[in-house]
Amino acid sequence: MDPDQVAKAFVEHYYSTFDANRAGLANLYQDGSMLTFEGQKTQGSQNIVAKLIALPFQQCKHLITTVDCQPSGPAGGMLVFVSGNLQLAGEQHALKFSQILLSTTAVSCYHLSMWVVSALNYPSKAIVSMFNYHGG
Q: Which domains does the chain have, with CATH numbers?
A: 3-131 (3.10.450.50)
pLDDT higher than threshold 70 for residue 25 = yes
Q: Are 11 and 64 spatial neighbours (Cβ–Cβ below 8 Å)?
A: yes
Residue 63's pLDDT band (cuts 50, 70, 90): very high
Q: What's 124's DSSP letter? A: T
Instruction: Please choose, from the candidates 97, 104, 100, 134, the residue with its C-alpha nearest in 3D space to the C-alpha of residue 119.
Output: 97
pLDDT higher than threshold 60 for residue 73 = yes
Answering whether pTM is above 0.75, one says no
What Cα–Cα distance (Å) separates residue 104 from each residue in 78, 87, 120, 133? 7, 31, 27, 10
Which segment, 56-60, 63-67, 88-92, 128-132, is predicted with the most confidence on average? 63-67
- Count, residues in the chain: 136
* Residue 71: per-residue pLDDT: 82
